[in-house]
Structure 1
Amino acid sequence: MTDQSQSATRPPAPAKVKILVTADRLFYEDGVHTVGVDRIIAQSHVTKATFYKHYRSKDVLIAAFVAGRDAQARAAVAADEERSNDPAAVLGAIVDGFAAESQRDGYRGCPFINAQMSQLDAAGPVTPAVTAWRTWLRSTLVDLFAKAGSADPQAAADDLLLSRDGAFGGAPVTDPGVADAALHRTLERLLP
């Protein structure tokens, strides 16, 4: 076995995981833009050298935060697809997940939109990470709407995504049940 293949299968260093777990919590609870590297270092109980060994900059850490949230979203949709072969039911489960997220205790908005809006370097790694998640989610929705018999699955996916974004943005300032109901009404209108 070569050194390269060994490193490809090696799990991430515990300090790297600890930094990311701490950043995920702080970024979401307090806002990506308000949490500094020094605070993450202190709460992760690592040295500055260890932090910068694993994450060259705050934007690299933000991109890793986004990638982690992306992996969680993909796993949730995969689980929905495993539970049902009915694309309309899977779409319903996805919308249920959107609604549940926007109503949970400690909700602070969409982590992907928050990260995009808080990046320090517009040419840095955050935009590609958010774009990868958004592209995956949209293509998943297009595929599900096509399988459900939608006449225009691309438009249906766009409409549901914008409804999701509105619910995630509006839930903190209105009755979360209103956002939930609007998401479900949108899906009902988009399904054939």
Structure 2
Amino acid sequence: MVVEEAPTAQRAPAKGRILDTASVLFYEDGIRTVGVDRIIAASSVTKATFYKHYRAKDNLIVEYITGRHRAVRTEVEHIIDAAESPDVALRAIIASIASEIASPGFRGCAFINAAAEFPDAEHPVRQVVTQHREWYVDTLADLLRELGHPVPGDAADELQLARDGALSGGYAGDSIAATAALGRIANRVLAEARPA
């Protein structure tokens, strides 16, 4: 399965309500624990409407995680476009992660959470998660390469792993310590870069 990058077509109001409702419930309570009946009731649609638009819960889950990918990608692309240099862009990306961790209702990384609930690497949800993570690390590597980092791929892997740890630790433990550690790792990685 390939994550579609084209702009989202205008969706039917009921379909949008279902997806918006499911997105909140899946993130807050977990994908597997939220049943179709709960989504139907919370989104004020009929069963027939739900099944007309999604046919099965798995289709809705894939659309949820694909939507999360699009949202993160849009945010990161805006950060990069607004930055005057790769260094500024990377620091702004790290700041956005810290801001996410500090936000009300933060429940960890939606992609790590989804991967934990879908252990089969061949499941469509896991395929979207994998594609998201590959895109994210490639984006970091591109910025580090522009910055002149001697090993941009390895450095991008470090930043992604630090991000994973901060998102998980920021939810399960001390959010201040998690974001401080992320900042220290980012500073070390960026200090290894040299002008191209």
Q: Give yes or no for TM over 0.5.
A: yes
**Which residue is equivalent to 2:180?**
181
How far is 1:9 from its partner? Answer: 8.9
Alignment of 1:144-183 (within 5 A): 144-183=143-182
Change (3 A) 1:67 1:10: closer
**Which residue is equivalent to 1:93?**
92
1:81 maps to a residue whose letter is I
Q: Measure, in 2, the Cα distance between the counterparts of 1:88 and 1:122.
A: 34
Deviations 1:134-187 (A, max 9, x none): 111111011001011110000001001111111111112332111111111111
Preserved CA contact (<8 Å) 2:121 2:127: no
Identity over aligned pairs, percent: 49
**Which residue is equivalent to 1:35?**
34
Could you tell me the TM-score, scaled by structure 1's length?
0.90
Change (3 A) 1:60 1:119: farther
Alignment of 1:99-178 (within 5 A): 99-119=98-118, 123-178=122-177
1:184 maps to a residue whose letter is G
Q: Which moved more, 1:46-55 or 1:141-150?
A: 46-55
Q: Measure, in 1, the Cα distance between the counterparts of 2:120 and 2:181.
A: 35
1:180 maps to a residue whose letter is T
Q: Which runs of 5+ in 1 are unaligned?
A: 1-7
Q: Which has the higher helix share?
A: 1
Change (3 A) 1:161 1:131: same
How far is 1:56 from its partner? Answer: 2.6
Change (3 A) 1:55 1:175: same
Report SS of the residue matched to 2:32: helix
Q: Which runs of 5+ in 2 are unaligned?
A: 1-6
Q: Measure, in 2, the Cα distance between the counterparts of 1:24 and 1:120.
A: 20
How far is 1:85 from its partner? Answer: 2.9
Report SS of the residue matched to 1:98: helix
Q: Measure, in 2, the Cα distance between the counterparts of 1:121 and 1:185.
A: 34
**Which residue is equivalent to 1:21?**
20
Change (3 A) 1:124 1:56: farther
Preserved CA contact (<8 Å) 1:142 1:156: yes
| Aligned pairs, number | 185
How far is 1:29 from its partner? Answer: 1.4
Q: Measure, in 2, the Cα distance between the counterparts of 1:9 and 1:105.
A: 27
Preserved CA contact (<8 Å) 1:62 1:119: no
Deviations 1:47-72 (A, max 9, x none): 11211222132222111111111111
How far is 1:190 from its partner? Answer: 0.7
**Which residue is equivalent to 2:3?**
none
Deviations 1:85-109 (A, max 9, x none): 3101101111111111112111111
Could you tell me the TM-score, scaled by structure 2's length?
0.88
How far is 1:75 from its partner? Answer: 1.2
**Which residue is equivalent to 2:4?**
none
- Would you identify which runs of 4 or more consecutive aligned residues in structure 1 move more than 6 Å? none
Q: Measure, in 1, the Cα distance between the counterparts of 2:117 and 2:188.
A: 34
Q: Measure, in 1, the Cα distance between the counterparts of 2:8 and 2:84.
A: 33
Q: Which moved more, 1:38-47 or 1:121-130?
A: 121-130
2:133 maps to a residue whose letter is R
